[in-house]
A and B are shown apart, each in its own frame.
Chain A
């Protein structure tokens, strides 16, 4: 058994060297299949969100976990992101004598890009990893099989409430991030570096359009779906991993859940930005 496993690993490593095109092809087929499975996983869970009876209590619990408990970390990161934007923006703009535009720079970069992306990455780190580990442990302790034997749909029971909660919480967390960031920019740009507060805020008012806000809102909703789907998916199929079983498998699933979520967030961010602009 062990020898066979070692031989398999060596052969698969060798094949990459010997035949890179086959290896690449195999890898691409794997990725496409995996994406298809994730998409089906998402659509099923999304559809089951609306099946009766609604799981209001569970959704509220998840909003508490994904949403409320992330407020502190969102405020903290939001404030410092805004402050550093204020600082960097000031020193750049002052070279062109246009430091009055600081409010516009800070608000637009936060509302369009940094707010949705950074809030999503923070939520991935805080809640996404926990979701992947929780679902993974339920899988290896046969709890998901138990749901199946009780004729309780595991996707409806486990994934749908998390998905609903994330779709509700993420836009709010993103809005919070934006507001706190703008205040952070005010603190560094105005209170510390001396731009007039009136100019800072009036520039925001004149430069930010509804389209910017809607764009950020759409992004945050898409990211919410990405985080919950990928993190639940990794945990749900933790038993099919070849590299490790049991606790090891769960730890690997948690890691890949966070890494894949972050990568997909950044990729979809680019795609969405190019579509929205």
Chain B
């Protein structure tokens, strides 16, 4: 049997009276793209933040290559963080830096690359994401969809081994959405990276992901390949998928960011 790369074991997390995760079990395998779906406000972002250590679980374990995150030494955590990258749902771009500086920031601060090399990599990512001629603009001068793509560029500019995407395509037009999906999938083919994507883009996102996990009431209700999801007999899974399919005739789902 394959060993999972990242594993949630019976993870609980509450914010006061609000029980967000109630014993979540999830396995993420190396080199695969895992999509997490679920209701808005169901705790997908919270789940994702646990992986990178922004939020700590109340109980349960999160294992990396079989090793619990909570037992790791500082240096090990640091090494892990270097290889991971996180794309925030709310973009989390630096308002006081220009777009160029935003994308270049992780390279500038954590590597010793020369300025020209940084410039090359940043421009490269900006080209791929159709972000030309906005180098000197500030995040507040961009549209929501553009900000999303800048955040994506920033997450990918370090060529990380693991990327956690929190709704990378919400708020993008269908063409850009497709190109973002293509980019993620090309990345995987080229570098074999591990991706965890929170997305509402059903069924488009299934074409690029090898595994799907559905979060419901703080637990992982379903885990497996996209085909298996479609055949699932669980009423809650069915309802969720069908609700999405019937809700929109071209299959592209526009779910509001917040309920």
Q: Of B31-39, B79-87, B173-181, B198-206, which stretch is located at the interface? A: B79-87
* Residue contact A151 to B110, C-beta cutoff 8 Å: yes
Residues of chain B within 8 A (CB-CB) of A148 are 54
Interface centre among A142, A148, A151 (most CB of B within 10 A): A151
Q: Is A80 an interface residue (CB 8 A)?
A: no
Q: Is A9 an interface residue (CB 8 A)?
A: no
Residues of chain B within 8 A (CB-CB) of A4 are 17
CA distance A151 to B54 in the complex (A): 12
A60-84 CB mask vs B (1 if < 8 Å, else 0) is: 0000000000000000000000000
A133-151 CB mask vs B (1 if < 8 Å, else 0) is: 0100110011101101111
Q: Of B88-96, B217-225, B230-238, which stretch is located at the interface? A: B88-96
A111-153 CB mask vs B (1 if < 8 Å, else 0) is: 0000000000000000000000010011001110110111110
CA distance A141 to B88 in the complex (A): 10
Q: Is B241 an interface residue (CB 8 A)?
A: no
CB within 8 Å for A151 and B94 given contacts A4-B17, A145-B54, A157-B109: no
Closest chain B residue, CB of each to CB of A55: B109
* Residue contact B88 to A146, C-beta cutoff 8 Å: yes
Smallest CB–CB gap between B53 and chain A, Å? 8
Q: Is A1 an interface residue (CB 8 A)?
A: yes
* Residue contact A149 to B85, C-beta cutoff 8 Å: yes
CB under 8 Å from chain B, chain A span 139-182 = 141-143, 145-146, 148-152, 157
Residues of chain B within 8 A (CB-CB) of A145 are 49, 54, 88, 92
Smallest CB–CB gap between B31 and chain A, Å? 21
CB within 8 Å for A149 and B109 given contacts A4-B17, A137-B95, A142-B88: no
* Residue contact A149 to B81, C-beta cutoff 8 Å: yes
CA distance A143 to B139 in the complex (A): 12
Interface residues contributed by chain B, number (CB under 8 Å): 21
* Residue contact B92 to A143, C-beta cutoff 8 Å: yes
Closest chain B residue, CB of each to CB of A142: B92
Q: Is B105 an interface residue (CB 8 A)?
A: yes
How many A-B contacts at CB < 8 Å in the complex? 46
* CB contact between A151 and one of B82, B90, B93, B96 (< 8 Å): that residue: B82
Interface centre among B81, B92, B96, B110 (most CB of A within 10 A): B92
Closest chain B residue, CB of each to CB of A157: B109
Closest chain A residue, CB of each to CB of B110: A151
Smallest CB–CB gap between A244 and chain B, Å? 16
* Residue contact B95 to A141, C-beta cutoff 8 Å: yes
Q: Is B78 an interface residue (CB 8 A)?
A: yes
Q: Is B253 an interface residue (CB 8 A)?
A: no
Q: Is B146 an interface residue (CB 8 A)?
A: no
Residues of chain B within 8 A (CB-CB) of A142 are 88, 90, 92
* Residue contact A151 to B86, C-beta cutoff 8 Å: no
A188-200 CB mask vs B (1 if < 8 Å, else 0) is: 0000000000000
CA distance A99 to B66 in the complex (A): 82
Given contacts A146-B94, A150-B106, 13 further A-B pairs with CB under 8 A are A134-B96, A142-B88, A143-B92, A143-B94, A146-B88, A149-B85, A149-B86, A150-B85, A150-B109, A151-B78, A151-B82, A152-B109, A152-B110
Q: Give the interface of B toward A (CB within 8 A).
A: 17, 49, 52, 54, 78, 81-82, 84-86, 88, 90, 92-96, 105-106, 109-110
Q: Give the interface of A toward B (CB within 8 A).
A: 1, 4, 134, 137-138, 141-143, 145-146, 148-152, 157
